[in-house]
Amino acid sequence: MDTKKIIFTRSEMLEFNRQTLLKRGVSLESIADIAYKQQKRYSDDVTFELCLESVEKILSFRDVFHHVQLAAEIDRLAEEKMFQGPIQDIIFEDFGLFGIDETMGLDVAGLYGTIGQTNFGDIDVNKAGIVKDLNEFGKDDKQCHTFLDDIVGAIAAAASTRVAQITNEDLAELDDEGHNLFKVSGE
Ligand code: MG
């Protein structure tokens, strides 16, 4: 019987992703930090805890699991010079006109719609926090983060968008005087 395991539970996928990201130098807190700083521009009510919870939720999605695992492996294989032909140097050197890493990032951010993708564009262009670090480390002659910097930026963008949606849902439940419409007084 074939015993290869390809289906995982959401908590297993989150744990795999956490370990894989850590191995590549990325903590979940550093991703949450980008989401936090992005949303803080729009609302003072944003909490770091909600950003971290959002990062964890997104990292448990099967699509995202596949993206993180694949991106980390492509970068590792490029570091070990395992690709044949021109694609080895194109990936390792993070060639500016190579856009497949951004395509993967857009795909992940797109789980949270157009706003998710717009937030990803902002993070990709302005390179904050761990995305900036990955980009810098990737210039080292031993490291490659061509794919992971986009996936990490996209997870931050998706988390940021989720936080905005939750914050707006909370706002929508308030009446003009700031009382929660759905709570009976004393509850
Ligand atoms: Mg990249």
Distance 120 CA to ligand 1 centre (A): 12
Q: What is the dihedral of CA 13, 18, 20, 24, to 10 degrees?
A: 160
Q: What is the CA(159)–ligand 1 centre distance, in A?
A: 19
How far away, in angstroms, is 97 Cα from ligand 1 center? Answer: 10
Ligand 1 centroid distance, CA of 149 (Å): 5
In angstroms, rounded to a whole number, what is the distance separating the alpha carbons of residues 100 and 77? 16
Contact in structure between 182 and 58 (CB atoms under 8 Å):
no
CA 14–ligand 1 middle distance (angstroms): 22
- What pLDDT score does 72 carry? 98
Ligand 1 center from residue 75 Cα (angstroms): 10
Q: pTM for the full model?
A: 0.93
For the chain, the domains span 10-172
**Residue 180: phi, psi to the nearest 5?**
-75, 120
Cβ neighbours for 105, distance < 8 A, ≥ 6 positions apart: 120, 124, 150, 151, 153, 154
The CATH superfamily assigned to 10-172 is PgpA-like (1.10.3760.10)
Distance of CA 9 from the midpoint of ligand 1 (Å): 28
Backbone angles phi, psi at 174, to 5 degrees: -95, 145
The pLDDT of residue 113? 97
Digitized pLDDT (tens) for each residue of the chain, 187 residues in all: 567 999 999 999 999 999 999 999 999 999 999 999 999 999 898 999 999 999 999 999 999 999 999 999 999 999 999 999 999 999 999 999 999 999 999 999 999 999 999 999 999 999 989 999 999 999 989 999 999 999 999 999 999 999 999 998 888 888 888 788 776 555 4
